[in-house]
Chains A and B, each alone.
Chain A
Amino acid sequence: MSRIQSAFATLKQQGKTALIPYITAGDPHPKFTVSLMHTLVKNGADMIELGVPFSDPMADGPVIQRASERALSHKVGLTAVLDMVRAFRETDQATPIILMGYANPIEAIGAVAFADRAKSADVDGVITVDYPPEECAGFVKELRARDIDPVFLLSPTTDAKRVELIVNQASGFVYYVSLKGVTGAANLDIVEVAARVASIREQTKLPVGVGFGIRDAATAKATAAIADAVVVGSRIVLAIEASNEANLLTNVATLMTELKLAVDAA
């Protein structure tokens, strides 16, 4: 059983919903990333989504685009990100790490070499935004052969037939993107999300995470009530952007505590 799978199993026994914060590796500066990851865990992260900076983040809104640009200004690429995971693992062997990024950095290394290197850095899952299942069968095979979970996105426009296709490729969990549009976009409609999550559950036993549009304790709590995991991205990246070197970790810790309380209260 992968780290992601056992984490979900444990949470389920405890009747809890996972809180999965997202940060972009190398934002605001590569020297903070590993400490930020530990801060996230100390303040309630059950897993971490670690963004791999990319020059052309087509599916991201302005907040995560800026994070990507800050990281790239310090030349943080996929190799550096894997080194950060390795450094994080020196003191944390428990928290699942899910890389989230775009296809081209993986293509540049090659699917097999990437899977090997991700495994050796002890990565648990990979979300590749622009690899729909039709285009990445070989890649998925390489990941699963190494017990790395390929995590896929489902959107409000994904029909039942595609959900079937996707859940057959996915493992670990599936990630329901609760909004049309890019990351950090407008407010979510919780009733609609609940209905969609319920129908996804009819098609798969995989845990269902929900993200996009979770911006405060209230939306986190409402989402936690219907999902197996709550993914918070832009809101955390905004807090990072608004911080300076001195208060960065404290600000992120405060926000995480607030989100954790909300998720646990659901």
Chain B
Amino acid sequence: MRLKSRHLCSKLIDIKFSLGDNLDYANHDIEEVKMQLYDMPDARGHFGQYGGTFVAETLVEALEELRVMYEKYRHDPVFLAEYAYDLKHFVGRPSPIYHAKRWSEKVGGAQIYLKREDLNHTGAHKINNTIGQALLAKRMGKPRVIAETGAGQHGVATATIAARLGLECVVYMGSEDVKRQAPNVFRMKLLGATVVPVESGSKTLKDALNEAMRDWVTNVHNTFYIIGTVAGPHPYPMMVRDFQAVIGIESKAQMMEMVGRQPDAVVACVGGGSNAMGIFYPYIDVPNVRLIGVEAAGLGMETGKHAAPLTANSPVGVLHGNRTYLMQDNDGNIIETHSISAGLDYPGVGPEHAWLKDIHRAEYVAVTDDEAMTAFHQLCRTEGIIPALESSHALAYAEKMAKTMTSDQILLVNLSGRGDKDINTVAKLANITL
């Protein structure tokens, strides 16, 4: 692991503002933060061999402008205060941690705690990031924001903050996803966004990202591209992680408050990996906390129809501006992925996850569509919480793990989103027409 401590002071400021200084657990965290030594990426956005800025020359200046502006504002007290204010008053943070007692008992083994990102405004963790980037867009004087979306959660979160800040909003969405996620398409339109169906390639998330990049390169003078996950060229993986880190920062304080210690493991689903990176990041330098990322095994790892590049040890390659593990054929063309959850249906993964895998700080596993569905139903019935299909992957693996652990051990699962958006998919599986 690369050890350094240079950004320590500014990190303390970050955390104080992210939490909001009226939260009584803010000071709790500071002692522990002093131990934080992990300092990635490097100045050009590399996490070891991963990450970087693999873009056409036409985008270099735009990314440089973004990099400079983000550096300027990431430690700016006024910016951070505005961000913290919106997290508290618009999103409803901090999101609680909930002890899923009944489910834990039923599973038998470790105690399972849920970080309730599903309770955020718009129903998922995505809004933490879109607010940060939209506030940056405003400061950069860009009146128009664009976004890519798969399941539609990031699109909705972008449309939401664009409406609130009076920014024009265009969301690119694969035409397959437009069909699969009709309610979220309508939500975006209600919020005043233009949804552009993308017909190229596999007509899913990766193609939406390509199209958003093409828009950006053409309209860079007035447009800010709000990327929804910890992928893309530098500084996106770092910036999205920083905006999502509020999840882990709160969790650390809340766990101390609730049980007086940190969990034995933190479990989160990984598509691009933003919710996982958000909860993992503040834990990286905390010893004895296992970090477990759960990818989508789709129809089963052995079938090849999955979306789990880390678990499958896919070859390393370059896509969407960064180097990472990538699902691809022998010619280096990206292959189609499969997952029941549109939000995990992505052939790559954020470069920092690739790095955390290689240095063995985080472990990556995968669960199938069926396993995720089982966990989905269990949480509905035993805890009265309808989880997103994405988050159900993390729940499914937590269940497996919990069974091998003792009742005094603790698992913290990032419940990254709620499942209201998925009811059509679930109904269809049961042959029910809504």
A132 surroundings in chain B (CB, below 8 A): 53-57, 60
Selecting from A9-17, A32-40, A148-156, A256-264, the interface stretch reads: A148-156
Which of A65, A72, A157 has its CB near the most chain B CB atoms (within 10 A)? A157
A182 surroundings in chain B (CB, below 8 A): 214, 217-218
A interface vs B, CB < 8 Å? 53-59, 61-62, 65, 69, 72, 77-79, 102-109, 129-132, 134-135, 152-155, 157-159, 162, 166, 177, 180-182, 185
B218: nearest chain-A partner, CB-CB: A181
Question: What's the least CB distance linking B47 to chain A, in Å?
Answer: 14
**In contact, A185 and B54 (Cβ under 8 angstroms):** no
**In contact, A180 and B220 (Cβ under 8 angstroms):** yes
**In contact, A105 and B333 (Cβ under 8 angstroms):** yes
11 pairs, A vs B, C-beta closer than 8 Å: A56-B210, A69-B201, A105-B331, A106-B332, A108-B330, A155-B56, A155-B58, A157-B62, A158-B60, A162-B60, A181-B218
**In contact, B55 and A104 (Cβ under 8 angstroms):** no
B93 adjacent to chain A (CB < 8 Å): no
B48 adjacent to chain A (CB < 8 Å): no
**In contact, B214 and A58 (Cβ under 8 angstroms):** yes
Selecting from B33-41, B290-298, B315-323, B366-374, the interface stretch reads: B315-323
**In contact, A130 and B54 (Cβ under 8 angstroms):** yes
A152: nearest chain-B partner, CB-CB: B57
- Our pick among A72, A79, A108 for the contact of B317 (Cβ within 8 Å) is A108
**In contact, B57 and A104 (Cβ under 8 angstroms):** no
**In contact, B332 and A108 (Cβ under 8 angstroms):** yes
A108 surroundings in chain B (CB, below 8 A): 315, 317, 328, 330-332
Given contacts A59-B217, A154-B57, A181-B214, 14 further A-B contacts (CB under 8 A): A55-B335, A61-B214, A69-B200, A102-B318, A105-B332, A106-B332, A130-B318, A132-B53, A132-B54, A157-B60, A158-B57, A159-B61, A177-B58, A182-B217
**In contact, A104 and B53 (Cβ under 8 angstroms):** no
Question: What's the least CB distance linking A73 to chain B, in Å?
Answer: 12
B426 adjacent to chain A (CB < 8 Å): no
Q: Is the interface of B mostly helix, strand, loop or mixed?
A: mixed
A105 surroundings in chain B (CB, below 8 A): 331-333
Contacts of B33-83 to chain A: CB distance below 8 A = 44, 52-58, 60-62
B326 surroundings in chain A (CB, below 8 A): 104
Question: What's the least CB distance linking A92 to chain B, in Å?
Answer: 25
**Complex CA–CA separation, A104 to B214 (angstroms):** 18
**In contact, B54 and A103 (Cβ under 8 angstroms):** yes
B interface vs A, CB < 8 Å? 44, 52-58, 60-62, 200-201, 206-207, 210, 213-214, 217-218, 220, 315-321, 323, 326, 328-335
**Complex CA–CA separation, A244 to B332 (angstroms):** 30
Question: What's the least CB distance linking B280 to chain A, in Å?
Answer: 26
**In contact, A131 and B210 (Cβ under 8 angstroms):** no
Question: What's the least CB distance linking B374 to chain A, in Å?
Answer: 33
Closest 5 CB pairs of A and B: A77-B331, A108-B332, A105-B332, A181-B218, A157-B61
B320 surroundings in chain A (CB, below 8 A): 56, 58
A55 and B56 contact, Cβ closer than 8 Å, known pairs A77-B333, A134-B44: no
**In contact, B58 and A107 (Cβ under 8 angstroms):** no
**In contact, A77 and B56 (Cβ under 8 angstroms):** no
**In contact, A56 and B57 (Cβ under 8 angstroms):** no
B332 surroundings in chain A (CB, below 8 A): 54, 77-78, 104-109
**In contact, B201 and A129 (Cβ under 8 angstroms):** no
Which of A134, A152, A158, A180 has its CB near the most chain B CB atoms (within 10 A)? A180
- Our pick among B55, B319, B329 for the contact of A56 (Cβ within 8 Å) is B319
**In contact, A130 and B58 (Cβ under 8 angstroms):** no
A166 surroundings in chain B (CB, below 8 A): 57
**In contact, A135 and B56 (Cβ under 8 angstroms):** no
**In contact, B61 and A104 (Cβ under 8 angstroms):** no
A131 and B334 contact, Cβ closer than 8 Å, known pairs A58-B210, A182-B214: no
- Our pick among A79, A104, A109, A134 for the contact of B318 (Cβ within 8 Å) is A104
B328 surroundings in chain A (CB, below 8 A): 104, 108
B323 surroundings in chain A (CB, below 8 A): 107
A107 and B56 contact, Cβ closer than 8 Å, known pairs A157-B61, A181-B217: no
